[in-house]
């Protein structure tokens, strides 16, 4: 559905150089620290920022300024809604803008999330705004959803409801695709088929979520044990008081061959934290 091929975006003090792919019927996640380039990548896909080189293909067709835009549902950190609009006003605007807009579905979701129809957008809480932006993106049958931090500002219950909506959306539109970013990697772990880790504008890791959870491990080794490790099986390391924490994608190998070694099964948070703070091997 979506492919970025060596896309470069240059700013005075930052450069994005990114390749990624989102397949039909899948949810792909991007995670990274603030300033890693997640929002820049999304804006490049949407044509909101100019790319210096590379290609962006949507449904096999290269996206250019002249090419016709496909039906994309978007959530960005910045809201495109007028602060004085009510939910009722926004529903009318979306209905006039998108031929495929489903007003009944939009209204139902707003009711389910308790959004007041006559209250002005400027008086909404940050959580209410996040819900409305996501509902709007889901309400016109988009082929591609580009969601930048859609669960930001939501409590655990509301986050789970939003994530369930995304899964339901793919059930309803199985040929669509979703690209989502979040600072909460447990959210991505819950819904994403694969995850990209972006740091300083570059992709440092791309892996299927199941592989991250099933095959990756953190070795806690002493200084004496470290020389026994085969470097080709190691990814990142961080020095500790007792020796090293070492990230590997071959956890079972070490469990079978080094029974005396401490080999932990990490969460995605722990994997990414070691990559953020550690040194590439």
pLDDT per position as a tens digit, 163-218: 999 999 999 999 999 999 987 888 888 899 999 999 999 999 999 999 999 999 99
pTM above 0.85, yes or no: yes
Task: Indicate whether 240 pLDDT > 50.
Answer: yes
Neighbours of 115 (CB within 10 A): 19
Name, in order, each residue with C-beta under 8 angstroms of 70's C-beta and a sequence gap of 6 or more: 58, 59, 143, 144
Q: In the chain, what are the domains?
A: 2-210 (3.40.50.300), 216-280 (no CATH)
According to DSSP H, which parts of 6-75 are helical? 38-46
Task: Indicate whether 156 pLDDT > 50.
Answer: yes
**What CA–CA distance (Å, rounded) separates 3 from 188?**
20
């Amino acid at each position: 559905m979506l492919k970025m091929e060596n896309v470069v975006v240059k700013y005075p003090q930052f450069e994005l150089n990114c390749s990624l792919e989102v397949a039909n019927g899948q949810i792909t996640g991007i995670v990274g620290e603030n300033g890693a380039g997640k929002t820049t990548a999304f804006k490049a896909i949407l044509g909101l920022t100019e790319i210096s080189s590379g290609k962006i293909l949507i449904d096999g067709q290269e996206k250019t300024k002249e090419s016709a835009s496909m039906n994309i549902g978007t959530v960005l950190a910045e809201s495109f809604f007028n602060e004085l609009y009510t939910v009722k006003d926004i529903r009318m605007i979306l209905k006039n803008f998108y031929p495929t807009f489903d007003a009944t579905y939009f209204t139902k979701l707003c009711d389910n999330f308790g959004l007041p129809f006559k209250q002005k957008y400027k008086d909404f809480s940050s959580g209410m705004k996040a819900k409305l932006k996501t509902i709007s993106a889901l309400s016109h049958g988009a082929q591609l959803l580009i969601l930048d931090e859609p669960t930001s500002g939501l409590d655990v219950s509301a986050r789970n409801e939003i994530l369930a909506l995304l899964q339901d959306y793919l059930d309803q539109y199985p040929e669509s695709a979703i690209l989502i970013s979040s600072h909460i990697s447990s959210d991505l772990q819950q819904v994403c088929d694969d995850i990209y880790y972006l740091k300083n504008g570059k992709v440092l890791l791309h892996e299927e979520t199941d592989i991250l959870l099933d095959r990756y491990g953190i070795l806690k080794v002493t200084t004496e044990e470290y020389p026994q490790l085969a470097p080709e099986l190691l990814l990142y390391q961080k020095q500790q008081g007792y020796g090293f924490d070492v990230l590997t994608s071959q956890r079972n190998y070490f469990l079978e061959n080094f029974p005396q070694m401490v080999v932990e099964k990490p969460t995605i948070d722990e994997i990414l934290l070691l990559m953020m703070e550690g040194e590439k091997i």
